[in-house]
Structure 1
Amino acid sequence: MTLETFKATVTSTATPNLYQASVRDFMLSFSPNSTTAISPLEGILASLGACESIVMASFHEREKFSYRSVYFTLEGQEEDTDRPGLNRILVSVHYDTDETRQASHDFMEFAEGTCPVMDNLTNAVPITRMEVTTETSNQETIKS
């Protein structure tokens, strides 16, 4: 099995609570409560919907499922608890298809079982902090 590595960089900006994420040649703006940037939790919802859409587009012929279009509505609910993230994610799938309701449901289950973002959200993924670097004003770099 081949190891593939994905990378992202997130940088603070001069604007408080505004962060720029870069992945390859793409830039995204994140902010916790802003009308000009998405929140990290909204980023999770968008990533999940995009991933499932890509899985459907990639596998619909193999799975013998035809559709003209699909869109997702995703809602993340955050309760006032000690947990800092979402407490639940609600997903609705809307197909434009001549397939049966059961076939549509089955294909959605296939997509959920094949989507890497869904897998990362539902199964614990080890996260390892590689280093913490502190740079001082005199350009001294300290790694821990």
Structure 2
Amino acid sequence: MTMQLLRAEVESLGGLQLKCSARGFEFMIDEPKNSGGTNEAMNPLEALLCSLGACKMMVARFFYQTKQINLKNMRVEILGEIDSDRLKGKPNVKVGFSKIITNYYITADNSHEEIQAFIDFIEKTCPVKDTIVNPPEMEHHINP
């Protein structure tokens, strides 16, 4: 097994604005105004949903030809259910998403069964989904 280490860095720009960087690419994270942000970028939970959707789309794009899917167009919508009482400090409220729903919109010259098998393959092959469903070992370090 060959292990690869991916690296990302997040830097505070003041307030709730963050700069996220990896491999020389950057994007911003913020919060809506009603949460104390400036609403200039998506929040971390929205970015997680986008990452999940993007990963599913990448798997589809990598494999649709080998799976003999005559893909014309594809869009993925990711919905995340979360209890807003988590921010009010209510006890026993799940902090993260309680449910994540993926809606696939696919135009392809294939049968419903072939498209369903392709979606099943995407769901089994997506690394971001696997990371969410089968959480990795987590550790943290405090550095000077």
Q: Is 1:49–2:59 an aligned residue pair?
A: no
Amino-acid identity (%): 26
Find the residue that maps to 1:68 and give its secondary structure: strand
Residue 32 of structure 1: how far off its partner (Å): 3.0
Gap runs ≥5 in structure 1: 134-141
Find the residue that maps to 2:71 and give its secondary structure: coil
Q: Quick check: 2:31–2:39 contact (8 Å CA) kept in 1?
A: no
Q: Which amino acid counterpart does residue 83 of structure 1 have in structure 2?
A: K
Q: Is 1:122–2:133 an aligned residue pair?
A: yes
Q: Is 1:68–2:72 an aligned residue pair?
A: yes
TM-score by length of 2: 0.86
Alignment root-mean-square deviation, CA: 1.3
Find the residue that maps to 1:70 and give its secondary structure: strand
Show the counterpart of 1:139: none
Rounded Cα–Cα distance in structure 2 between residues aligned with 1:74 and 1:10: 24
Residue 109 of structure 1: how far off its partner (Å): 0.8
Show the counterpart of 2:113: 102
Aligned residues: 132
Show the counterpart of 1:7: 7
Structure 1 segments (4+ residues) deviating >4 Å: none
Q: Kindly name which structure, 1 or 2, has the bigger radius of gyration based on alpha carbons.
A: 1
Show the counterpart of 2:29: 30
Q: Quick check: 2:69–2:109 contact (8 Å CA) kept in 1?
A: no
TM-score by length of 1: 0.86
What do residues 4-32 of structure 1 show as CA deviations (whole Å, max 9, x unaligned)? 11000001113x11111101111111123
Higher RCO structure, 1 or 2 (CA under 8 Å, sep 6+): 2
Rounded Cα–Cα distance in structure 2 between residues aligned with 1:60 and 1:7: 29
Q: Which amino acid counterpart does residue 52 of structure 1 have in structure 2?
A: K
Please state which structure has a larger fraction of its residues in helix. 2
Rounded Cα–Cα distance in structure 1 between residues aligned with 2:63 and 2:2: 21
Residue 122 of structure 1: how far off its partner (Å): 0.6
Rounded Cα–Cα distance in structure 1 between residues aligned with 2:28 and 2:122: 28
Question: Of the candidates 132, 139, 142, which is equivalent to residue 142 of structure 2?
Answer: 132
Rounded Cα–Cα distance in structure 2 between residues aligned with 1:35 and 1:75: 20
